[in-house]
Amino acid sequence: MKKIDEFVNSIYAHVSGEDAKELKQEMRSHLVEAVEELKAEGKSETEAIDITISRFGDEKQITRGVFSLFKTQTNVIKNLFRTSMVALILGLIMLIGLIWTEHNNQNRLQTIDQTVNSVFGIMADGTFSEEKINEINSLVDATKEIEYFALYENPEPGKGASKQEMVQNWDVAVESGDSSIKGSTEYVWIDIKDPYENYYMVAGYHKISPLNNNLYAVPIGLFIAFAVLGLTSLFLKINTNRKVLNAFIK
**What is the DSSP secondary-structure string of 90-138?**
HHHHHHHHHHHHHHHHHHHHHHHHHHHHHHHHHTTT----HHHHHHHHH
Helix or strand (DSSP H, E) at 31: helix 18-40
Q: How far apart (Å, rounded) are the C-alpha atoms in residues 146 and 1?
A: 87
Q: In what order do the strands lie in the sheet with 199-206?
A: 171-177, 148-153, 199-206, 187-193
* Residue length of the chain: 250
pLDDT digits (tens, 9 = 90+) for 152-181: 999 998 898 998 899 999 999 999 999 999
Does 79 have pLDDT greater than 50?
yes
Given a cut of 80, whether residue 205 has pLDDT beyond it is: yes
Q: Which amino acid is at 129?
A: S
Q: Are 149 and 168 in contact (CB under 8 A)?
A: no
1: helix, coil or strand?
Answer: coil
Q: Which pLDDT band, with edges at 50, 70 and 90, does 247 fall under?
A: very low
DSSP secondary structure string, 69-87? HHHHHHHHHHHHHHHHHHH
Amino acid (1-letter code) at residue 193: K
Contact status, residue 60 vs residue 202, Cβ threshold 8 Å: no
The model's pTM:
0.59
Query: Which residue has better confidence, 185 or 12?
Result: 185
**243 — pLDDT class (breaks 50, 70, 90):** low
Q: Which amino acid is at 4?
A: I
User: Collapsing DSSP states into helix, strand and coil, what is residue 177?
Assistant: strand
Phi and psi (nearest 5°) for 43? -80, 150
